[in-house]
Structure 1
Amino acid sequence: MDSLTQIVLGAAIGEAVLGRKVGNKAMLYGAIAGTIPDLDVFASFFTDTVSALAIHRGFTHSIVFSVLFAPIFGGLVSRYETYKNFKDWSWLFFWSFVTHPILDAHTTWGTQLFWPFDLRLAFKNIFVIDPLYTIPFLVFLILAMRQKRTTKKRRLYNNMGLILSTSYLVITLLLKWVSYTKFEAALNNQNIAYLEIDTRPSPLNTILWSANVQTEDAYLLANYSFFDTQPITFESYPKNHELLGNLVEDESVKRMIAISEGWYTINKKDNVFYFNDLRFGLLSLTPKAENFVFKYRMDVDVSGKVTFTEEPKDNRDGKKLISELWQRLKGN
């Protein structure tokens, strides 16, 4: 999830664990702890694109990280704060650390919660930024912050924020299931043979859902809004995996295929290969658009080694997409 959401969640967890004893400092340290797992993004400054992608939401988003580093941060804080209880501070950091990847597991990218095991949890039931999750949560957190630390009303407000946000996550799982059945029914009604369906919410909402459908030689992309009145239509994008040829044996290529969980297409333009990660869809709702959110240029050196470079995004594409999504959300 985005940084603001993780700050709000961390602060609420800090309050739930230690707010009665240390007041708003519990929220402060919870908020700090809620952002620490995302420091893995700085890996992009020290390593190549593929390694940085593999590191992101890996070790720092695991139970192992929470167990190892909670007592370290708890010890540091208990040494300098007036409240000296090492166990309580460690408990605050543990829960603020571990709830971060649990929430991230509901997004499309997912997390390696059980690192070092090669298992990425990605339920794909909420977009990385969702105002309906964050704003009510933030409002209740602010209300709690304004109360004295020993009052019942403070705990009530904080608990309400946690309950509402968690309930919304449960509702999004139900919405995901409903949208999945709609895509499945549309494929069956149109006699489309398929191997796998992967669904996710579109940006900033859980009304409009997207689907990637794998067939033998292509991927079908489609959208469905709960306000739709017309049948779902599918746009086909050829896999073109055969274009890789011997490059498929390159270690970086293998890692990118694993990171994309096999949801990728290959394009070739001006004798340059491009790797498109389909999990995050397109930057346009225009049929047959090839403007994927995550598109990587593949450069091959004289030794045959492949280097990936993410293609830059145009801010105008993002603004255009938001406008298109808003229109599409209202139904076809």
Structure 2
Amino acid sequence: MDSLTQIVLGAAVGEAVLGRKVGNKAMLYGAIAGTIPDLDTFVGNFFDTITAIEIHRGYSHSIVFAVAFAPIFGWLISKIETKSEASWKNWSWLMFWGLFTHPLLDAHTTWGTQLFWPFDLRLAYKNIFVIDPLYTLPFLVFLILALRLKRTDPKRKKYNQLGLIVSSLYLLIITPALKFYTFQKFENALENQNIQYERMDTRPTPLNSILWTANIETENAFLIGNYSIFDSQPISFHSIPKKYELAGEIADDPNLNRLIQISEGWYTFSKESDELRFNDLRFGTMDIENPDSEFIFSYKLSKEHGELVATETEKEMSDAKNLLPRLWARILGN
């Protein structure tokens, strides 16, 4: 999830664990714990693109990391907060839950997390977009209400609990129910249109859980369809050829195979100005109403010093500006 959401979650968890004893400092250190796992994006700057992608949401988003580093961070805080009533064990417990709930939340996004690192198992439930105001804003409001009260005020604990309950209901009940409902809609549409397919994957579109996208794999192409719970027209699917033949002599290249594994097989090739591109279909295109627009994650493939190198294509700010009004219009139904 985005940084603000992880800060809010971390602060709320910190308050739940230690707020009664240390007050607002529990929120502060909880918020810090909630941001630490995402420092892997900074580490990724020292590596090539493919390695950086593999690192993201890897070790720092695992149970191993939370268990290993919570006592270390707890010890450091105990040395800073020498006058606090909390002990080293108290701080360590707070840091563990701050570090651990971060990947638990990320597991619900499309990218997912390697919670059980070093095992090669990425959890990705794909029931919430990485930025979802319906999850974050109510949570933030309750956290601010709690923050304004004294640590001994019983309402403080009540507000914090309400924030955790409301956000959890949305994350664990409402969005999975919407995912199940929309998945059935896509299944019925494929059956009604006599479309034979190998597998299907669904996810919410940016900033909401009302409009959903389905990726469907067939023998030679991928189909992409959108469905809003406010739709009144049948679902239509747009076909994107796989074009695997464009890989040519690099088809068996180890670095290309790493990209394929990262994409979980949801990829196509394309050529732009004689440049070979690898398109990761899992995150859709820059324009929800134009399936032929550029993919959000697309990589230029080239050889440097005999090694295959992937370079992420740059996106223009105008692309994002054009996305929002068209996305909103599509959310309201076809």
Report the TM range for the smaller structure's normalisation: over 0.9
The answer for unaligned runs of 5 or more in structure 2 is: none
Task: Determine the structure 2 residue equivalent to 1:228.
Answer: 231
Q: Which whole-Å deviations, capped at 9, do the CAs of 1:120-156 have from their partners, x for residues lacking one? A: 0000000111111001000000111111111211110
Q: Report deviation, 1:302.
A: 5.8
Asked if the contact 1:10/1:33 (under 8 Å) is kept, the reply is: yes
Task: State yes or no: 1:9 paired with 2:14.
Answer: no
1:320 partner SS: helix
Please show how residues 173-252 of structure 1 align to structure 2 within 5 Å. Answer: 173-252=176-255
Note the aligned Cα RMSD (angstroms). 1.0
Identity %: 62
2:296 partner SS: strand
Which residue, 276, 279, 282 being the options, matches 2:279?
276
Q: Report deviation, 1:288.
A: 4.6
The answer for unaligned runs of 5 or more in structure 1 is: none
Q: Which whole-Å deviations, capped at 9, do the CAs of 1:175-197 have from their partners, x for residues lacking one? A: 00000000000000000000111
Q: Which whole-Å deviations, capped at 9, do the CAs of 1:295-332 have from their partners, x for residues lacking one? A: 100012463x2100000001111111111111111111
Asked if the contact 1:235/1:287 (under 8 Å) is kept, the reply is: no
Please show how residues 82-121 of structure 1 align to structure 2 within 5 Å. Answer: 82-83=83-84, 84-121=86-123
Task: Determine the structure 2 residue equivalent to 1:149.
Answer: 151
Task: Determine the structure 2 residue equivalent to 1:323.
Answer: 325
TM-score by length of 1: 0.98
Task: Determine the structure 2 residue equivalent to 1:37.
Answer: 37
TM-score by length of 2: 0.97
Task: Determine the structure 1 residue equivalent to 2:65.
Answer: 65
Q: Which whole-Å deviations, capped at 9, do the CAs of 1:58-100 have from their partners, x for residues lacking one? A: 0000000000000000001112202250111000000000000
Task: Determine the structure 1 residue equivalent to 2:51.
Answer: 51
Cα distance in 2, alignment partners of residues 322 and 254 from structure 1: 34
Q: Report deviation, 1:245.
A: 2.4
Cα distance in 2, alignment partners of residues 60 and 274 from structure 1: 30
Q: Which moved more, 1:313-322 or 1:76-85?
A: 76-85
Asked if the contact 2:44/2:55 (under 8 Å) is kept, the reply is: no
Asked if the contact 1:17/1:92 (under 8 Å) is kept, the reply is: yes
Which residue, 288, 292, 295 being the options, matches 1:289?
292
1:249 partner SS: coil
Asked if the contact 2:285/2:291 (under 8 Å) is kept, the reply is: no
Cα distance in 1, alignment partners of residues 265 and 4 from structure 2: 31
Q: Which whole-Å deviations, capped at 9, do the CAs of 1:174-221 have from their partners, x for residues lacking one? A: 000000000000000000000111000011110100010000100000
